[in-house]
Amino acid sequence: MFRYLSAAAIAAATLLPGLAQAQEATDPNVTARHAMMQLYAYNLGVLGGMAQARIEYDPELATEAATAIYHVSMAHADRMWPEGTEAGATEDSRALPAIWENRAEFDAAAEALTAAAESAMGTVGTDLASLQAGVGGIGQSCSGCHRTFRQPE
């Protein structure tokens, strides 16, 4: 009997959080673009951490992280921003209507990241100063998009 009860408790514990998540399901496009941003941040944590001397400079790791950012930027993410997924229209999003009002500029901002990451990929492994310059370029492209197309918190 006790065994059945504990099995039920384990099943409940595993299933309930899943159910709770299902109830507040966000648009899959929003989930996907947030996941992509987290991948950027995860790798920028390596590059920025070295640039700001939070962690020790490691040329191989730096090149790996910049390469990862480049590849994530090549993931055809433009599909993740369909119409009707702006802030207010969908849960949890800070995407501004400007994205759809000026799609060409938005797409260009995304291409700027690809270009910055591609260039950083080849330079961040050289030395710390090159890494700092590379991170600066990527950071410029991040804020270049965020300042126009993302609602401040």
Partner 1 sequence: MIGRLAGGVAVLAVLAGGAFWMLTQPASLSDETLAALSAHDADAQAGEAVFWAAGCASCHSAPDLAPGAAPEARMVLTGGRSFPSDFGTFYAPNISPDPEHGIGDWTLPQFAHAVMQGVSPEGAHYYPAFPYTTYIHATPGDIADLWAFWQTLPADATPSRAHDVGFPFSFRRGLGLWKRFNLHDDYATPAFDDAELARGQYLVEALGHCAECHTPRDALGGLERGQWLAGAPNPAGEGRIPALPPEGWSAFDIAAYLETGFTPEFDTAGGEMADVIDNMSRIAAPDRAAIAAYLVALRSSPNP
Annotated binding site for heme c: 142, 145-146
Residues 6+ positions from 110 with CB-CB distance below 8 Å:
73, 77, 78, 145
Which residue do the tokens 């951490």 mark?
Answer: 49
58 is written with which tokens? Answer: 């490691």
β-bridge partners, 17: none
Q: DSSP letter for 2, please.
A: H
Kindly indicate which of the ranges 6-14, 48-56, 75-83, 116-124 contains the residues binding partner 1, using the contact rule CB under 8 A: 48-56
- 88 forms part of the interface with partner 1 (CB under 8 A): yes
Choose, by CB under 8 A, the member of 41, 55, 89, 129 that binds partner 1: 41
Question: Min. distance of Cβ 24 from partner 1 in angstroms?
Answer: 21
Question: Min. distance of Cβ 113 from partner 1 in angstroms?
Answer: 11
Helix, strand and coil percent figures for the chain, each rounded to 5: 75, 5, 25
- Return the closest-CA partner of residue 69 out of 37, 25, 95: 37
Kindly indicate which of the ranges 1-9, 20-28, 41-49, 70-78 contains the residues binding partner 1, using the contact rule CB under 8 A: 41-49
Interacting residue ranges for partner 1, rule: CB under 8 A: 37, 40-42, 44-45, 48, 51-52, 87-88, 94, 135-136, 139-140, 142-144, 146-148, 150-153
